[in-house]
Amino acid sequence: MTKNQNLSATSVAKRALARAEGFKSLPATDGGQRERFLRVLRKSANISRAARAAGIASSTLYDWRRSVPNFACRWDEAMNEALDTLEEVLRNRAMEGVERPHFHGGEITGYYRTYSDNLGLSILRARRPEIFGREALGTPEAEDKSADMVNRQLDQIAESVNHCKPRPS
């Protein structure tokens, strides 16, 4: 019996549909590796870390991103969730501060809260560059291009997520 005779009719139909839509190949199964990758990516926003945790070479991931239907959209959704979480944590640290121990004589004698004005300003520069960007603050010689880069990347992620087809339930 050949390999193709072992495939179910559904699997054959999925492969044919994928090829018709311009995809070169559709792996029959990945042993849950894609889901593990997406789960870790959603928590870490780190592609290399997620790839290692799922036991997948990054080159394989990028091949899947190009060839497996809806994988790129799910990847972008996971990254977007991770970045939203990171932004929320950083905003909380800037606004609510971080509790730190106070030491005296090698012993903890109490706690105090620290706030990061720099972290808050970085978030404001990224989200409202027209008001808080370097040029708006009167320092064009120290123009901060990172805010523009972050905003462009967030816009690209949002655009790609908006173009994704809804996943079947």
Residue 47 has what pLDDT? 95
∠88-86-149 over CA atoms, to 5°? 105
DSSP state of 87: H
Task: Read off the pLDDT band of 137 (50, 70, 90).
Answer: low
**Which residues are within 8 A (CB) of 159 and not within 5 positions of it... i.e. 6 or more apart?**
none
- Over range 52-70, report the average pLDDT: 93
Backbone angles phi, psi at 42, to 5 degrees: -60, -30
**Per-residue pLDDT tens digits for 78-112:** 999 999 999 999 888 888 989 999 999 999 999 99
Residue 159 has what pLDDT? 73
Phi-psi region of 168 (alpha: psi -120 to 50; beta: other; left: phi over 0): beta
**Per-residue pLDDT tens digits for 13-23:** 545 544 444 44
Q: What is the CA radius of gyration of the chain?
A: 23
Give CA–CA dist 55/115, Å, rounded: 39
Task: Read off the pLDDT band of 69 (50, 70, 90).
Answer: confident
